Amino acid sequence: MVEPLVHMRGISKAYPGVVALRDVDFALARGEVRALLGKNGAGKSTLVKILAGVERPDEGEILIDGKSVALRAPMDGIKAGIATVHQELSVVPELSIAENVFLGRWPTRGGRVDWPRMQRDAHDALALLGLHLDPRQPVARLSVAERQLIEIARALSQGARLLILDEPTSSLVAQEAETLIRVVRQLAEQGTSIIYISHRMDEIRKVAHSVTIMRDGRHIATAPVADVSNREIVDMLLGGTQGEGGTARAIGEPGRFSPLLTISDLRVAPRVESASLEIRAGEVLGIAGVLGSGRTELLQAIAGLRAAEGGSMTLAGRDFRPASLREARANGIFMTPEDRRGEGAVMMLGIDENLVMASWGSVSRGGVIDRAAMRKKVAASIRSLGIKLAHPGEALGNLSGGNQQKVVIGKALNAAPRILLLDEPTRGVDIGAKRQIYQLMRNAAADGLAVVFVSGEIEEFCEVCDRVLILRGGCITGEVEGAAIRTETLAEMTTGEHGVH
């Protein structure tokens, strides 16, 4: 039997009040791409932190090349050939590619930085990934995908034999994601082992040889990807409590919802040329289109974040053209942005403060915050949203991605909107959190709100929407309702290609 590159045996780890890992075994072969799956809180982050030397296990042993090693600090992990590329990138945009590849360990000669050598070595590291970029070029000029590859080049330049990639495509468009997947496959063929953390099932099937599933701090199963169906994976992730289609999708009869906002021939630079649609109270409306089709621009125009160049909008029977975010909110329109960390919330503030950030008036008297009213409102929000937290005053940045997104949605709901615009609300969250967010959307619609939902994952529309509009070539080109909302139909309508899945 071939000795695995890495073998973690009997790993356990506990924090005050929480057991993160319970007697976990994990082995990875040379050149193997292993998808690591689990809901937020399943223990996968703790496992890879232990492997990277960021955390120490309470029990267990780590073997590399069959030899027991002690990984007491991140530098120990790097010396052992283990490198992590995090979801939140750590490049410095103002520095050059070469400076970023060798960040913190610039080569020197005679007490000075050896620029020619650094640029040569950076060029060689980029070449391993098939990148033909000038190492002197500032990283600020690169796309998100290219910046991600720069991080991988940095890891390879450190002699990494094992790469841990945490949600590497969560911020990438489809073409960029395909490029990264190609690079991962290429690295595996060259003998690099890769742990690939992602919630995207289609992506996992393209890139991974095998999958490890964790739940409640335990190793549930490891199997070749080809041997397990998506349904089996979801059942193992959720403990068999839910399967595909676990969201309570209420499909009503076409036309039973009342129009709230009517949009005619709206033009929004640079992508939306002519959008005509109705947004109806009590329904979840999906807007489907490939990335770059103008989905976000359309939502931003409705939310007062972007000026429309033509067309008209009628809100509850009167002309409406929001000149600002404030005006849109005053009329009951609230949007949650795609970038929850940068635009949707303040990570350093408490969960409680974020939840009432857009509705201070409801917890204030005479301009002074009523702490008792705030605590009551926050407690109600936490219960209804199902947010998992240690304390309401805890910094939002400490929560998992799914719980952060619930807070962003909760902030919007606390502002008592009539129209809720959600731009990619499930990006980067696990399957369990996705289903909870779908249910929040359905609950909001059941309460009479008009919910508009944009996603890059077509399968999501089938889970939660009453109606889906197709945005293609800058125009609304089609509409699908109720039971007719199917993945194959939407894929064909958004891309214009038959047989797309």
Is the omega angle on the peptide bond into residue 270 within 30 degrees of 0, that is, cis?
yes
pLDDT at 32: 96
* Residue 70: per-residue pLDDT: 93
Q: Is the pLDDT of residue 417 over 50?
A: yes
Q: Which of 227, 246, 165 is nearest to 200 (CA)?
A: 165
Average pLDDT over residues 291-313: 91
What pLDDT sits at residue 148? 84
Evaluate whether 6-238 and 258-332+417-495 have a shared fold. Answer: yes
Spatial separation of the C-alpha atoms in residues 378 and 305, rounded to whole Å: 27
The pLDDT value recorded for residue 256 is: 57
Give whole-number Cα distances, 497 to 251, 459, 467, 493, in Å. Answer: 27, 17, 21, 8
Q: Distance from first CA to last CA of the chain, Å, rounded?
A: 39
Percentage of the residues of the chain whose pLDDT score is greater than 90: 58
- 474, 273 contact by CB (below 8 A): yes
Nearest partner of 208 among 185, 228, 183, judged by Cα:
185
**Chain centroid offset of residue 69 CA:** 33
Cα distances (angstroms) measured from residue 378 to each of 225, 370, 382: 42, 12, 6
Judge whether residue 87 has pLDDT over 80. Answer: no
Q: Among 169-173, 184-188, 244-248, 294-298, whose mean pLDDT is lowest?
A: 244-248
Region 393-399: mean pLDDT is 91
pLDDT of the residue at 501: 34
Please say if the pLDDT value at position 348 is more than 90. yes
Whole-angstrom Cα distance, residue 39 to residue 26?
Answer: 18
Residue pLDDT, tens place only, 216-264: 899 999 999 999 988 888 888 877 544 344 444 444 444 457 899 999 9
**For strand 67-69 and strand 59-64, is the pairing parallel, antiparallel, or unpaired?**
antiparallel
pLDDT at residue 304 is higher than 90 = yes
pLDDT, residue 243, reads 39
pLDDT digits (tens, 9 = 90+) for 21-37: 999 999 999 999 999 99
Q: Which long-range contacts (CB under 8 A, 24 or more apart) does 18-22 make?
A: 19/217, 20/46, 20/217, 21/46, 21/47, 21/50, 21/57, 21/217, 21/218, 22/216, 22/217, 22/218
132 half-sphere exposure, CB direction, 13 A CA radius: 0
Q: Is the pLDDT of residue 38 over 70?
A: yes
Residue 305 has pLDDT above 60, yes or no: yes
Judged against a pLDDT cut of 60, whether residue 112 lies above it is answered with: yes
What is the rounded CA–CA span in Å between residue 477 and residue 485? 15
222-226, 324-328, 433-437, 476-480 — which is least confidently predicted? 433-437
Half-sphere exposure for 111 (CA within 13 Å, toward CB)? 0
What percent of the chain is modeled with pLDDT above 70? 94
Helix (H) or strand (E) holding 249: none
- What pLDDT sits at residue 244? 41
Identify the CATH homologous superfamily for domain 6-238: P-loop containing nucleotide triphosphate hydrolases (3.40.50.300)
pLDDT at 63: 95
Coil/strand/helix, residue 472 = strand
Residue that is written with structure tokens 């924090």 in the block: 15
* Helix boundaries (H) for 80-209: 97-101, 115-127, 144-157, 174-189, 201-207
**pLDDT 10s digits, 41-84:** 788 989 999 999 999 999 999 999 999 999 999 899 989 999 98
**pLDDT of 497 over the 60 cut:** no
- Amino acid identity of residue 46, one-letter, is T
**Separation of alpha carbons 279 and 264, rounded Å:** 12
Confidence of residue 401 (pLDDT cuts 50, 70, 90): confident
> Average pLDDT of the chain?
88
Q: Which residue has the higher pLDDT, 342 or 334?
A: 334
Q: What is residue 334's predicted lDDT score, i.e. its pLDDT?
A: 96
Q: How far apart are CA 500 and CA 214, in angstroms?
A: 31
- Give dist(CA 274, CA 110) in Å, integer: 63
Residue 174 pLDDT level (bands cut at 50, 70, 90): low
DSSP string, 323-389: SSHHHHHHTTEEEE-S-IIIII--TTSBHHHHHTTT-GGGGEETTEE-HHHHHHHHHHHHHHHT---
List the Cα angle 96/101/103 in 5-degree steps. 85
**pLDDT of 144 over the 50 cut:** yes
User: Where are the chain's structural domains?
Assistant: 6-238, 258-332+417-495
Q: Which helix (H) or strand (E) holds 47?
A: helix 44-51
User: Alpha-carbon distance 83 to 253, whole Å?
Assistant: 53
Q: pLDDT band for 39, please (50, 70, 90 cuts).
A: confident
C-alpha 441/C-alpha 420 separation (Å) is 9
Whether 271 and 294 have beta carbons less than 8 Å apart is answered as: yes
- Please check the confidence at residue 340 and state whether its pLDDT lies above 90: no
21 CB neighbour count, 10 Å cutoff: 28
pLDDT of residue 291 exceeding 80, the answer is no
| Residue 281 in this model has a pLDDT that exceeds 70 | yes
Specify the pLDDT at position 202. 79
Query: Which positions ≥6 away from 490 have C-beta within 8 Å?
Result: 288, 458, 461, 462, 468, 470, 480
pTM tops 0.85, yes or no: no
Residue 128 confidence (pLDDT): 80
Class of domain 258-332+417-495: alpha beta
CB burial string 108-120: b at 16+ within 10 A, e below: eeeeeeebeebbe
| Distance of alpha carbon 482 from alpha carbon 14, whole angstroms | 46
To the nearest 10°, the Cα dihedral for 166, 172, 176, 177?
A: 50
Q: What is the DSSP letter of 228?
A: S
